A and B are shown apart, each in its own frame.
Chain A
Amino acid sequence: MTSDFKGEKIILEKIKREFGHKGIIQRAHRIWISIDKEELLDWAKWLKQEGFIHLSAISVSDWIEERKYKIAYLLWSFKDNVLLVLTAKIDRENPVVDSIIPVWGNNAQSHERENWEFFGINFKGNSNLIPLFTENWQGPPPFRKDFNWQEYVRDKYYNKENERERGYYED
């Protein structure tokens, strides 16, 4: 049974009329759009009205050669059964982006806390950024690609007298 992407094409038409932007249909039930970070709140309010009421996740990946973080918002609509992925690129040395708690409620709070803790992103407007998983961590944000976690673990936990640990730390 092949689908002709009818629901997805209607949404893309509406987006073109409102913002003049083109998105990509990757397969059935998936739309990918990439925007600039300044337009984030306008898109967020318009998409919430159109039926994208569930925020699945906020996912960040670190592209160290381009010196940018790529942040992706994954949104699901129960009415049309479509998943829309909104991606934006932000600067790696001073990452600041608007918080989307006014649009999607307290669900976004825990996702933003996790990304603040692991990547160091400052969400403007979120006043409750306290650590979620770590306790008394003083070093740089641990998921960045230039933090050498293997060296940290070797300095702190390697017991040279135990012969069985040698294969993990010296190769």
Chain B
Amino acid sequence: MKERGDIMKINQEMSVLPKSNEYDFYFGPCHPGSGNFGVKLKVKGEKIISALSDPGYLHRGFEKLMEYRLPLQNAMLSDRICVLESLAWNLVHAEAMEELMDLKIPERAKYIRVIMVELSRIQSHLIWWGVLSAGIGFDTGFKIAFGYRDYILDLFADITGGRVYPAGYICPGGLRRDFPMEIEEKIEKVLDKIHEAAKFIETGNPTFLARTKGIGVLKLENAISLGATGPVLRASGLKNDIRKDDPYEVYNRFDFEIPVREEGDIYSRYMIGLEEIKESVKIVKQALEDLPKGEVILPKFKKPKLNMKIKEGEVYVHNEIARGEGGMHITSNGGVRPYRVKVRGPSFSHMIPVLEYLLQGAEIADVPAIYWSLNVCPADLDR
């Protein structure tokens, strides 16, 4: 039982503490809404004064590990750089090695690579919609997005042998296996289901609009000087796409559009994700119609070899992956293993300069919405 004297003492102590409403707040790595990444916020009341990013919880040392392995083993490692789009990083690594070794791969392999990468882009955008809805509080959207994503993962298990990690399916020299029989009808059925999912995403819920319009605005000159690429830059008004500006594989034979918006807030980034899903479905349909017959791998890469030398030189390759511009800069000094590999992930510029700029002046309740609308992947940043 508290005595009256104790209560008087507590009141006296509390009136001696400084009256302030400024404090530190960690939107941190042990939070279910932030992945493996922390942000340290300085908050006054409900408004944020400044933010400091705190990366490094997922650093596995890929750039050093790749110096000690053969190119075929690096193809297996490269799909673990970012788990949400493993086939896209497989393609970046395979293109860099092929340019260093001067190889020309067969036509059927190029068409199948484009089909796999576009399917991977669709499933990555479905995850983006799911976690953005969960960050706002719309939990049904999260469950529906992951339900539709599962149809694409079943296709990957048929073609490559694993649902999430294809274990170097796109390797230097071509592909590890050919398409199984009757897979083309299954792909067409899955594309019809994706149309259903896209119709669901388009509905205009007034709560969703109120929480996303006009919030987290990024203007064009700030976007360029802070290093944004990909959908974030297209939502701020600049029309750019590496698949059209610096074409790789067979993208220059297909007919597709590039969606651009002017406002730069969360709603425009969300609508660009939806329109990109529809464009990817168009590309897969065109590729399936023109698929040629033939081999899928060069003859000297059919059986793995332990001592194939790489020519001396350096090369930089960049691709338009789902999150932005992903690149690899590889240097070789004539040995069997690469000398130095540098991986440039799109989230390196989105999570450190752009996030710290956008969070200044925002409210605490908007932090998950702004964070997930940039389509971040902490694994790209830490490698």
Contact = CB atoms under 8 A, between A and B. Distances in A.
B225 A105 contact: yes
A106 B353 contact: yes
B348 A132 contact: no
A25 interface: no
Interface in B302-345: 316, 318, 325, 327, 329, 331, 339-340, 342, 344
Contacts of B349: 107, 110
B56 interface: yes
Contacts of A92: none
B34 interface: no
Interface stretch (A14-22, A37-45, A54-62): A54-62
Identify the interface centre among A104, A132, A134, A135: most chain B CB within 10 Å of its CB.
A132
Contacts of B357: 106
Interface string B55-71: 11001000110000000
A74 interface: yes
Interface in A107-146: 107, 109-111, 132-135, 143
Contacts of A78: 238, 240, 245
Contacts of A74: 316, 327, 329, 344
A133 B56 CA distance: 4
Interface residues of A, number: 30
Mostly, the A contact residues are mixed
B55 A107 contact: no
B382 interface: yes
A53 interface: yes
A33 interface: no
A132 B224 contact: no
A149 interface: yes
A132 B353 CA distance: 13
B344 A57 contact: yes
Interface of A: 1, 29-30, 53-57, 59, 61-62, 72, 74, 78, 81, 83, 85, 104-107, 109-111, 132-135, 143, 149
Given A83-B246, A83-B316, 18 more contacts: A30-B316, A54-B227, A56-B325, A56-B344, A59-B329, A61-B340, A62-B340, A83-B318, A85-B316, A105-B227, A106-B225, A106-B353, A107-B349, A107-B353, A109-B353, A133-B382, A135-B56, A143-B63
